[in-house]
Structure 1
Amino acid sequence: MTSDPPALWTSLADDELTETHIDTLLKPLPDHLWVAAACVDRLVDDVDVQRQILELGLQRTGTVLESCPPLAAVDNDPTGNEEATPPQVGIAELKTYFEDNQADAKLCHLRTVLLQRLDRLNTFVESCKVIPDGEDDESETEDEESEEEESLEDWEDNPWGDDTNPHTAGNAEVKKQSSTPPIPLSAFLTDDLVRLACLCASKQWFEAIRCLWHRHGEQLWQYRFVILDNIPEYAQPQAYRHVLPEFDIDADKERRPPTAPHRATPDLVEDPNVVSAVQVCHPTQAAIWSAPFAANAALPSTELADWYKKRASAIADEAGLVDVALSIIQHGASQGLPGLDEFGEELSLFTRLIYDAPASPRTGDHEEWSLARWLTLTPPQVIQAYVAHSSPETIVRDIRDLVNPYLFVLESRADREGKSDPQISTNLLHEYILSAPIDLTVSIFEASKPTLPQGERLLRDDEDIARLALACLYGSNSLDRWPTMSRIFECLPAWDISQDEDADDDIADTTMASLGAFVTPSTSMPRCTPTDLLMFFKPLPLSSLSRALDILDVHLESGEIFSRWGSPAPLRWFLQSNGNEAEQRAWAHRIARRGAGSDEHMNTVEDWEWILEDMLKLCGKSDNGIRGALGLIPRKEVMRIVFAGLLGTGKFEVAKELLRARHAKFTLKPADIEEICISSSHEFYDNATSGNYKVGDMKLAYDCLCVPAQSDKVLQEKEFIEATSRLSSFNLTSRGNPISPIEIRMTKDRLSLVSRVLSSNADAYKHTEVILDLVYKLGFRAHPVAEIKTLSMISDAALLAEDFTRAYEVSERMVADTLRLRTEPNGADVQEASQVCWMTCYQLGRQPEFDDVQKKLTLLGRAMELCPAEQLNDILVAWRKLDKEDAEIRAERLGKRHRKKSTSATSRKPLQSIGQQLYHAHTPIHSLAARLQDFKMPTTPLLNTPDATALASKTFRTVAANFPFGTRGRPHEGSANGEEASPRPEHDVSAQASRALAKGIGWLIGDDHS
C-alpha cells in the first residue's frame, strides 16, 4: 500500500471515508486548490463526514479572499458596520484578474459549490428534525416525558429513518443514522431543489417542504404550484395547509411567505459580479429543471381562487374524494378569497349526493359522477339525482335530508342575488312529485296527510295536496296500479262545502266537461302531462276542487271495475269519454268480451250476473250525482252488450240457463235475444276459416242459433249455415284458394254459387233434389223463380253432358212450375220465369244430337207458348224444319214398311197435319191456335243471319248469367223461304265442361268435408 496521501485519498471509496481519513490524509496537504477540488469531488451519506469535508474545503478556498486583490479590498472594508451594504466588486477588474490567475478563479468557483452544499446539508439536518404529521399515533403514551424521548424509529413512515429524537438533537449535528434515509444525503446535496420538493410533496413530507421553502424560497417560489400539484389528491388539506398559497386580503393578491437567509452576511463569492466573472473564466453547465408552470409574481385574487377551484375539481373528479375537495375550498374561503363560498356551497351539495344519497338497489354502487357534470345540472336535475335510487321507504327521508337543504340553498342564493322568489322551493318540489313514479308519490302523499301534525307533514297545504294528486293521477299512464291510486286518494283532504243539489250538479258537469276537453289529445298537445294538468287545477276554486275530488272517487272505482274485467284504461280516459257515447259503448263491448275471456272459470250464471251488476253500476250515478264511466248508455243496452259478450265466449249452455233462471237480471225481450243471437252468429260465421259447421267458428255460429226460440228467421239462418257447409264440401275455389264463408255471404247473386257447383262437378245435375235443397237453404225456399232458374241450370248441365233424357225430364218439371206460376198474378216474376223457361226449351229442342224428335217438337211447342210474340216466328221456323225432317223420316219408314208388308192401306195413309203433330206433341192446341190466328209471318232477322240460332243463344246467356254451358252443335238455318242450307260445324264446348268422372252422390249431399 502506498504512503502517498493523495494516492491513498483517491483510492478510498466514498462510503469508506471517515473523519480520521480527512485529518490524516487531506488536511496535511499544502495544495489548497487540490484539497478544495478533492472536497468538491467527494459526496458521502454520513452527515458528520460530509460536514467536515465541506468545512475543510471552505477553509482552503478562503485563502482566495486574501490573495485576490479585488476581493481582499472588499473583505478589508474599514467601515466595520455589519448591517451596512458591502461595497460591490468591480466586475471588469475581476475578469481581468481571473484571466491572469486561473487558479483563483477555480478556487472561487469551488467555494461557491461548497457553500451551496453546506446550505443543503443544513437543510437536510433541519428536515431530519421534522416528523411528518399524522405518523404512528399508536406509539404515543400518556407520559409526556416518555413521548418526548421516543425515538423516530418507532414512527411507521419516518421519511428520514434516523434514530435520534428531533427534539433533543442539536441544531448543527445529528447522530449517526441507524438506517438509510429515503433520500440519501449525497443525492440531496446535488439534485435539483424543485425536483426534491416535488418528491417530498408526492411522499406527503409536508414539513420537509415547509423547511425547503423557508430556507430556499428564492429558488422554489416560482415553482410553488408545480410542487403543490405533486401532492396526492387524497391527502387531507389540513395536513399541508401551511404550504398552501396564502391570500393577502389588503393587497388583493397572493402573499409571498418570508424566507430565512443562510448566512447573516453573504460570502464574497456569492456576489453577483463575482459569480459572473467566474462564469466567464470558468464556465459550467448548471442543471436547469424545466417546470411546466412557473409564476414569479404573486397571483391576483381571481387567479388564486381559480387555482383552488382547479385543485378541488381534480381531487373530486380524479380521486373521487369530494369531502377532501370541500376541505381545500373551505381553507381558501377562510382566507377571504372571492367566489370560493359559492363553489364550496356546490361542493357541499355535491358531497351529499356522493355520500348521503341512496345507492343503486341492483348493484349497490353509486352512479359515476364528476364535479364538472354536477355543475352543469339544472335544479330539477339535481333533485332527480338526489332521489334517483330512492325507494318508497326512503323517499320521504331523502327529500327532507337532501332535497329540502338544496332548496334552502337556492332560496338563499336568490336572496343574495336580489332575485328573491318565495315559491322557488315549492315549485321545484311540486315539479318533482309530478314526474315521480307512483310508488314514490304515494309515500309522499302519505307523509302529507291532513291528519298528521302540521310540523310532521312533508306537504302542508291541503289545496296543494289535492291539486297535485289530481294532476298526478289523471296524468298517469298506469293501467294496473289502482290500489296504489286509491291509497293516494285516501290521503286527500275532505272539505264540507254546503251547496244545493242543482248547484252541485252544475259544478260537476262544468268541471267534467272542462277536464274532458282539456285532456283530449290535439295536434298542439298530443298528450296532457301532469304539469299541464296542475296548471289547469291551480285556478279552480275550493268548491270546484272539491267536486273534482268527488269525480276522482267515481273514476277510481270505475277504473278498478275496468281492470277487474281485463279492460283497464288510463284514468284520463274517463274524462275524455264523459260526453262521448260512442266511446263508452265501444269500451262496454270491450269489457264484456275481455271480461268474459279473462277468467276460464266464468261458467256460472252468478259470474255473469256479477259482470252485469258491475256494468250497471258504471252506467248509473253516484250519490253526488256524478255519472259513471258508462253513464250515457241505457241499462237495456248494457244488458244487450253483456249478453252478446257471453255469447261471444261460446258458452251457450250458460246463456240458456241464464235466460231460464228465476229472478234473472237479464230482462231482455225475446225479439232482442233473437237479434243478439243472430248478430253473434254472424260474427262467428264471418270469422270462420272453414265452412264445415261441425267444427270451429262455424260450429259456434250454428250452435249460437240454438239459444233463442226457433223462429222462421232463426231457422233461415241455420239453413244458410248448412248451405255454406254444403257448398264448402263441393271444393269451390276463389282465386285459386278454397272459398271462404265470408265470400259466400258477400256473394250478391247466390244462385251463381249453384251454377259454379254444377259447372265444377260433372254429375251434380243428376241429383236434382239435392241441388234444389241447396237453393232452398241459400234463402230461396219461397222464391219459385229461383227454383225455375235452378232447374234451367240443371237442364243445361245435363245438355252439356249429352244426357238428353234427364235434360228433358227437368225441362218438363220447369215448364210445369212455370205454367203454375203463370196462373198467379206475380207480374215481373212470371215474365222472368217464362223467359228462362222458353229459352231452355228452345235450347234443348233445337239440339241435333237429341234424336227424339217428338220430345223436341214438344219442347219447341212449349217455347212457342211461353216466348214473347216477337220471338215466335224464329221458334216456328225451327219447329217447321224439325217437322219436315220428321215427315221425311216417317215417309221413308212407311215406304220400307209398305214394301215389306205389301199393304196398300198403309201406303195410302196421309201424313199428319201440323195440327195433328202439335196434338201428338201434347201442345195446347187451342192456346197456340189462338196465338197463330190471323198472324202474318214477317221476314225475321234470324233468317237473314248465318246462324239462325245465334240470337236465341245470346238471349239465353243474358238471362241465365253465369251459366257456363253451351250446345254441342248448332244447325245452320235456311233462307227465308225455308229451304235447307248446307250444314255448318260448330265450336267445341268449353274444356272445363268436358266429360269428367263422377265422384258419387256423397259430395252432392255435403257429407264429404275433407
Structure 2
Amino acid sequence: MALSPTSTTTQELHTQWASISDEQLTLHDLEATLTPIANDLWVAAACVDRLLEDVVLERSLLELGLKRTEAALERSKKVYESSLSGLGEQQEELPGSSSWSEERRRSAALATYYREEPTDAQLCHLRTIFLDRLDRLEAYGRIAEEMPEQETVGEEIDEEWEDDPWADDKPVAPPKRVPLPLPLVAFLVDDLVTTTCYLVSTEQFVPAHIVLDRFGPAIWPFRFAILESIPEHSLASEYRDLLPSIDSSGQSEERPPFAPRRSTLDWTELPGFRNALAEAHIPLKLLIQVSQDHNTPSRPDPLSSEELSLWYRERIEGLNSSGFVDSALSLVQHAASHGVPGLDEVGEELSLLSRLVYDVAPPANVEVEDEWDFNRWKALTPSDIIRAYLAHSSSDTVVQDIHRLVMPYLYVLESRAERSGNTDPSLPNRLLYEYILQAPLDKVLAIFEGSKPTLPPAHRLIRDDEDMARIALACLYGSNSLDEWGTMSRIFECLPAWDTPEDGDETDEVDTTIASLGAFVVPSTARPRCTPSDLLLFFKPLPFTSLSRALDVLDVHLESGEILARWSVPAPLRWFLQSNGSITEQRSWANRMARRAGGTDDMLSSQDDWEWLLEDMLKLAGSGDTELRGAFCLLSRDDITRIFFSGLLSAAKFDIAKALLHSKKANIQLSRDVVEDICLASSQEFYDNASSGNYHFGEMKLAYDCLDVAHPSETIQRQKDFIEATSRLCSYNITSRPGIPISPIEIRLTKDRLSLISRVLSSNSDAYKHTQVILDLANMLGFKGDVVAEVKTLAMLADTALQAEDFNLAYESSVRMVSTVLDFRVSSSYGIDDPKVQEASEVCWIACYQLGRQPEFADVGKKLSLLGRALELCPSDKLADVLTARRPIEEEDKEERQASLAARQRGARTTISRKHASRVNGNTVSLASRLQELRMPNLSSPITPDPAALAEKAFRAAANFSFSDFSARGRSLISDAARERSTSGSRTRYDGAEVSAQAQKVLSKGLGWLLGDDDK
C-alpha cells in the first residue's frame, strides 16, 4: 500500500522500516520506527504487510496495528449508531424505505460515510485481519504447547553428577518439543480448511482438532471434506475428536461445542459492517472469508442418523476395499460407541476379519499370495473361513487356534442364526467336523488329543464320544496316507472304549456292516474316491454297539497296516475293507509283500529276517476267526507258504531257500512237486527278465541256479537244457531284427523252435560242419527223443552243406537221416502209417532227392544211392519225378562203368580160364533168362500212369527170385569186379555178403529202383 510521507522525518522512518529484514527485526525496531509515525493507515498497512516467524514479534506487530485501527473504529461506530437520526429527513427519499429494516438503514448510512472517508473503511477492514491473525497466532501457540516432547538421543547423564547438591539452584530448561507441522507465516495467511486438510493428511490430529476448536464455525461445514483427507491406514482412535456422532435424541448429528479465543465478535466482524463495506465498493480485497477461497463442498447442517450411518458405511467399505481392515474396524467401533445405528453386523464381520488378517500370522518362510479385503471375506463360505483361520496352524497350535479363532466365529454364526429366527444348534459342530474330516492326520491327532474323554467337557473340542468314533473311522478309512501308521494308532488310542455284551446277532450285523462298507468304498465312475465326508454319512446311523465293533475291526486293520508298511508294501486303510471278501486281491498283495520285501537287500539279509517275514505273513492270514480277520484272511497257510517261497526265490536267495526247506523252525511244509513248480516258475521269470542269454552271469544265471533248489528231476533237467540252449543260441549272434540281437524272451516265445536251428545255420557259415553240436542244441531246445525233429535237423544240416557245396558232408548227413528214418519205421508200433513216420519220411526223401539230383555233386554212385532212398521213401505220386531225375545219372553211371571196364580189359594181367568163363556164362544165361521173365519195362518209354501197380508186381517178382544159385566163384567174380571198379571210381567195396544185395540192385534197376538197399 503506497502512502505519501508528510515530512522529512517520516520519510526517513519509512525508509528505515523498509531496510530492516524480517530476520533482523526486533521489538526495539518496532518502537523506534512505527510508533513515531502518525499516519494510522500507513502503520496498519505496514503491520499487515510484514509476516514474521517469531511469535512474540508477530504478536507485537499485530497488536500495534490493531491499536492504530481503534480511532477509525470509534468513528465508524458513531456513524453507524447515529445513522437513524441523520437519515430522518432523507428517509422518505430512500427507495423502499418502508421495507427497510433498521440494520439495513444503518449499513446504508455507514456505506455512505465510507465512500466519503475511505481511510476509515480501510482501517476497519485491516482491523478484521489483525483480529483474525491474532486468533490464529493464539491457536498456533496452543498447538506448540500440545506438540509431544522430543526424545533426547545421544545425551548421556554423568553418574558422578547425578546427585549434584547445587542442581536445585540451576534453572530448569524447558523440554524440547517436536517441530510444528507447518510454519507460522503459512498458518497465518492460508485458508483454514486447506490448512486443516493438510494437518489431517499428515496425521497431525491434535493440531487439527485445535484449529477446529478455535475456528469451528468457519470450518465445521467442511468437516466431511477434512475427514476424507485422513489417510486410510489411520485408526479412528487417533482422530476420534474429529469424527461425527449422534446427539442424545438419536435422530441427528451432534454439533460439537467450540472454544474460540474471543467469546464475542468485534464490531467489524458483524454483518452490518460487512454489508456496509461491500456496498461502499472500497478497492481492498477481503482476506478472511475462508469459505470463499476454495471449492470444497460443505454441509453446514447436521446430518440425520440415517445419513450419518450411510457415511460411516461408505467410509468403512472404502477402507475395506483398500485392505485397511484394522482402520475399518476401529471406525466401526467408534461409530458404535457414539450411537451410530446399523453397523452391528459390519462390526462383527470386521472383527472376525481382523482376527484373520492380524492374528493368523503365516510362518516366516511362507509368502502370502493375496491380500485380504472385505469383499473377499464376504465371498467366502463358513467352511472356507474356518480353513483360512487354520491355514497356517501346525499340529502344535491347531487346538489353541480353534479355541482362539474358530470357536468365536462359530458362536457368532450361531447367534446370527438365532437373531434371524433360523436356530441351528448343530451348526458349530457340523462346521468343525467338516474341517476335521479334511484336515491332515497330524492335525486330526492334535484335535483328538484335545478331545479325549478324560478331559473336562468344557475343554474338549469334540464332546460327544460317539461323534469321536464316527469321525475317527471316517478320517482313517478315508485317508490315502501310507506312512502315518503311528499317527493313526495314536488317534485310535484317543477314542472311547465301550463295554459291549457279546451277542451273536450283533456280530453278524457288524460283519454285514463291514461287508457293506467294503462295497461302499470301492471306487466307481461317479465317485472315483470315497472321501471322509462320505464315510461319515455311512457311520452316522450306526449305534454305539456297532461303532464299538467297528473300532475293534479298525484295531486289527491298523495292526495289519503296520505290518505291510514294515515290509515296504503299505496299503491305504480302506484297502482292508475292499479286500475283505476278495481272495484275488489278497493273493496279489501277498505276492507284492513277499517280492518287494525280498527286493530290499538291507531289510532281508539273513535267514532270520526271512523267517520273520514268513511269520508276519502268517499273522496276516489270521487263525480263521470270522470276527476279526487279518489282511490275508482268505488265504490258507499253504497259500501263504507258497507265495512266501516264490518271493524268496525271486529275491535270488537260493541258499536261504534250501536252508529253510530243511529248517524245523520255519516248518515250510511243501511237497517236492510244489517246490519244483515254484522253482520252475521263478526260473522262467528270471529267464524272461534276462537281457542276455549267457547263463554264466546276470538274470540267466539266476534262472539256472534257481533250478538247483528243487530236487533233480527230468523236468528240471529239461529246463536247464533249454537255458543252456538259449545261451548257445545267443552266442551265435542271432538277430531278431537287423542289428538287434535276439533276446531270451523271444527265444522262449518262438513257436517253432527248430526255426532257431535254421537261423543258426543261416547266420553262421561253419555251423553246419558241427553236426553233433547242432543235434545236441536241438535236443536241449526240447526235442530230445523226437525223431521227426532230429530228421528235420539233419535235413537242415544237409541243405546248408549243399548250399555251401560241401557235398560229402551233405551226403553223410543224408545217410544218417535215412538210417534214422528206417529205424523209426521199424520201431514205430504203427509202421509206415504213423503220421510222424510219414512226416519224417517226407523230410528225408526230399532231402535225398535234392542232393541226389545236384549236377555239381560228382559222385554218381552216392547220387544213385540217395535217389534210390528217395524212391523208397517218397509217396507214389512222386515216383515219376524221382525216376526222371535218376535216368540221366544211370546213363552217366553206365558210361563210367563201360569206360572202367575197357580200361581193365586193356590192362588185365591175368586171363580167366575157360572153365570159369563157361560157368559164369552159364550162370549169366540163367540170370538173363530169369530177368526176361520179369519183363522189365522200357525205361525210354513214358512212365506208366500206375506206378503203384508196377511196384507191386516188381515186389512179387523179387520175392520169387532166389539168389541161392550164386556159387562161390560167382560171388568171387562179382567181388573182383567190385574191386576193379573201386580202383577207378569212388564206389565202396563189397564183401561176399553183399553179393546178394548187389544182385537185387541189378534186378530193380529197370523197375525204377523201387527197392532200396537195406544196408547203410
What is the TM-score of this pair, normalised by structure 1?
0.80
1:788-799 pair list within 5 angstroms: 788-799=791-802
Q: Structure 2: how far apart are the matches of 1:849 and 1:546?
A: 95
Q: Structure 2: how far apart are the matches of 1:893 and 1:462?
A: 119
Instruction: Please say if 1:194 is aligned against 2:197.
Output: no
Counterpart of 2:468, as a letter, is I
Given the superposition, is the C-alpha separation of residues 184 and 705 from structure 1 closer, same or farther in structure 2, using an over 3 Å criterion?
Answer: closer
* 1:689 CA drift (Å): 0.6
Asked whether the 8 Å contact 1:131–1:158 carries over to 2, the reply is no
**Which structure has the bigger radius of gyration?**
2
Instruction: Please say if 1:657 is aligned against 2:659.
Output: yes
Asked whether the 8 Å contact 1:593–1:648 carries over to 2, the reply is yes
Secondary structure of 2:246's match? strand
- Quote the residue 1:861 is aligned against: 868
- Quote the residue 1:209 is aligned against: 208
* 1:814 CA drift (Å): 0.8
- Deviations for 1:465-484, whole angstroms, at most 9, x for unmatched residues? 00010011011111011111
Given the superposition, is the C-alpha separation of residues 24 and 934 from structure 1 closer, same or farther in structure 2, using an over 3 Å criterion?
Answer: closer
- Which residue of 410, 416, 419 maps to 2:419? 416
Counterpart of 2:489, as a letter, is S
Secondary structure of 2:778's match? helix
- Quote the residue 1:975 is aligned against: none
Q: Structure 1: how far apart are the matches of 2:589 and 2:730?
A: 36
- Which residue of 772, 776, 781 maps to 1:773? 776
- Quote the residue 1:844 is aligned against: 851
Counterpart of 2:208, as a letter, is I
Counterpart of 1:883, as a letter, is E
Asked whether the 8 Å contact 2:597–2:604 carries over to 1, the reply is no
Q: Structure 1: how far apart are the matches of 2:302 and 2:937?
A: 141
Given the superposition, is the C-alpha separation of residues 490 and 67 from structure 1 closer, same or farther in structure 2, using an over 3 Å criterion?
Answer: closer
Secondary structure of 2:599's match? helix
- The answer for unaligned runs of 5 or more in structure 1 is 80-84, 139-149, 161-181, 920-924, 943-977, 979-1010
Secondary structure of 2:334's match? helix
Asked whether the 8 Å contact 2:84–2:105 carries over to 1, the reply is no
- Deviations for 1:833-852, whole angstroms, at most 9, x for unmatched residues? 11111111111111111111
Instruction: Please say if 1:889 is aligned against 2:886.
Output: no
Given the superposition, is the C-alpha separation of residues 776 and 269 from structure 1 closer, same or farther in structure 2, using an over 3 Å criterion?
Answer: same
- Quote the residue 1:452 is aligned against: 455
Asked whether the 8 Å contact 1:131–1:207 carries over to 2, the reply is yes
* 1:650 CA drift (Å): 0.4
* 1:115 CA drift (Å): 3.7
Instruction: Please say if 1:473 is aligned against 2:485.
Output: no
* 1:409 CA drift (Å): 1.9
Given the superposition, is the C-alpha separation of residues 775 and 223 from structure 1 closer, same or farther in structure 2, using an over 3 Å criterion?
Answer: same
Given the superposition, is the C-alpha separation of residues 797 and 940 from structure 1 closer, same or farther in structure 2, using an over 3 Å criterion?
Answer: farther
Q: Structure 1: how far apart are the matches of 2:321 and 2:31?
A: 59
* 1:517 CA drift (Å): 1.7
1:610-621 pair list within 5 angstroms: 610-620=612-622
- Quote the residue 2:19 is aligned against: 11
Asked whether the 8 Å contact 1:592–1:642 carries over to 2, the reply is yes
Given the superposition, is the C-alpha separation of residues 259 and 362 from structure 1 closer, same or farther in structure 2, using an over 3 Å criterion?
Answer: closer
Q: Structure 2: how far apart are the matches of 1:37 and 1:520?
A: 99
Q: Structure 1: how far apart are the matches of 2:199 and 2:936?
A: 140
* 1:809 CA drift (Å): 1.5
Given the superposition, is the C-alpha separation of residues 931 and 21 from structure 1 closer, same or farther in structure 2, using an over 3 Å criterion?
Answer: farther
- Quote the residue 2:386 is aligned against: 383
Given the superposition, is the C-alpha separation of residues 825 and 257 from structure 1 closer, same or farther in structure 2, using an over 3 Å criterion?
Answer: same
Asked whether the 8 Å contact 1:61–1:107 carries over to 2, the reply is yes
Asked whether the 8 Å contact 2:44–2:123 carries over to 1, the reply is yes
Counterpart of 1:188, as a letter, is F
* 1:293 CA drift (Å): 6.3
1:182-261 pair list within 5 angstroms: 183-201=182-200, 206-228=205-227, 237-238=236-237, 240-248=239-247, 250=249, 252-259=251-258
Counterpart of 1:543, as a letter, is T
Counterpart of 1:856, as a letter, is K
- Which residue of 40, 44, 49 maps to 2:48? 40
Instruction: Please say if 1:680 is aligned against 2:679.
Output: no
- Deviations for 1:436-473, whole angstroms, at most 9, x for unmatched residues? 22112112212222233434433211100000100110
- Which residue of 128, 131, 137 maps to 2:146? 131
Question: Identity across aligned pairs (percent)?
Answer: 51
- Quote the residue 2:1002 is aligned against: none
Given the superposition, is the C-alpha separation of residues 208 and 880 from structure 1 closer, same or farther in structure 2, using an over 3 Å criterion?
Answer: closer
- Quote the residue 2:503 is aligned against: 500
Asked whether the 8 Å contact 2:118–2:282 carries over to 1, the reply is no
- Deviations for 1:325-380, whole angstroms, at most 9, x for unmatched residues? 64443222111212333333334334444555465275799996556654544322
Q: Structure 2: how far apart are the matches of 1:153 and 1:311?
A: 45
- Which residue of 511, 533, 538 maps to 1:536? 538
Q: Structure 2: how far apart are the matches of 1:63 and 1:607?
A: 120
Superposition CA RMSD, Å: 4.2
Given the superposition, is the C-alpha separation of residues 446 and 577 from structure 1 closer, same or farther in structure 2, using an over 3 Å criterion?
Answer: same
- Quote the residue 1:753 is aligned against: 756
Counterpart of 1:304, as a letter, is L
* 1:125 CA drift (Å): 5.0
1:2-81 pair list within 5 angstroms: 4-18=12-26, 21-23=29-31, 25-47=33-55, 49-61=57-69, 72-74=79-81
- Which residue of 829, 835, 838 maps to 1:828? 835
- Quote the residue 1:811 is aligned against: 814
Given the superposition, is the C-alpha separation of residues 22 and 721 from structure 1 closer, same or farther in structure 2, using an over 3 Å criterion?
Answer: closer
- Quote the residue 1:968 is aligned against: none
Asked whether the 8 Å contact 1:358–1:390 carries over to 2, the reply is no
- Quote the residue 1:461 is aligned against: 464
* 1:284 CA drift (Å): 6.4
Counterpart of 1:430, as a letter, is Y
Asked whether the 8 Å contact 1:105–1:281 carries over to 2, the reply is no
Secondary structure of 2:253's match? strand
Asked whether the 8 Å contact 1:65–1:72 carries over to 2, the reply is no
Asked whether the 8 Å contact 2:27–2:57 carries over to 1, the reply is yes
Between 326-335 and 632-641, report the one with greater CA deviation. Answer: 326-335
* 1:767 CA drift (Å): 1.2
- Deviations for 1:184-214, whole angstroms, at most 9, x for unmatched residues? 5433321221233234445665454333223
- Quote the residue 2:511 is aligned against: 509
- Quote the residue 1:147 is aligned against: none
Q: Structure 1: how far apart are the matches of 2:368 and 2:729?
A: 71
Given the superposition, is the C-alpha separation of residues 77 and 577 from structure 1 closer, same or farther in structure 2, using an over 3 Å criterion?
Answer: farther
- Deviations for 1:215-267, whole angstroms, at most 9, x for unmatched residues? 32232123323434555677665554333212236353322224467534642
Secondary structure of 1:336's match? coil
* 1:269 CA drift (Å): 7.0
Q: Structure 2: how far apart are the matches of 1:86 and 1:328?
A: 50
- Quote the residue 2:961 is aligned against: none
Counterpart of 2:882, as a letter, is I
- Quote the residue 1:116 is aligned against: 132
Between 9-18 and 230-239, report the one with greater CA deviation. Answer: 230-239
Asked whether the 8 Å contact 2:325–2:353 carries over to 1, the reply is no
- Which residue of 539, 557, 560 maps to 1:558? 560
- Quote the residue 1:723 is aligned against: 725
Q: Structure 2: how far apart are the matches of 1:939 and 1:278?
A: 163
Asked whether the 8 Å contact 2:80–2:107 carries over to 1, the reply is no
- Deviations for 1:772-827, whole angstroms, at most 9, x for unmatched residues? 10011011112101101111111111111212112112111111111111121351
Q: Structure 2: how far apart are the matches of 1:890 and 1:363?
A: 109
Secondary structure of 1:253's match? coil
- Quote the residue 2:398 is aligned against: 395
- The answer for unaligned runs of 5 or more in structure 2 is 1-7, 87-100, 154-169, 948-1005, 1007-1016
Q: Structure 1: how far apart are the matches of 2:75 and 2:453?
A: 102
Q: Structure 1: how far apart are the matches of 2:175 and 2:376?
A: 42
Q: Structure 2: how far apart are the matches of 1:472 and 1:807?
A: 80
Q: Structure 2: how far apart are the matches of 1:429 and 1:43?
A: 70
- Deviations for 1:972-992, whole angstroms, at most 9, x for unmatched residues? xxxxxx9xxxxxxxxxxxxxx
Q: Structure 2: how far apart are the matches of 1:557 and 1:940?
A: 88
Q: Structure 1: how far apart are the matches of 2:515 and 2:728?
A: 55
Instruction: Please say if 1:332 is aligned against 2:352.
Output: no
Q: Structure 1: how far apart are the matches of 2:140 and 2:654?
A: 106
Which structure has more RCO (C-alpha within 8 Å, separation ≥ 6)? 1
* 1:621 CA drift (Å): 5.1
Asked whether the 8 Å contact 1:507–1:547 carries over to 2, the reply is no
Asked whether the 8 Å contact 1:508–1:551 carries over to 2, the reply is no
Secondary structure of 1:247's match? coil
* 1:547 CA drift (Å): 2.2
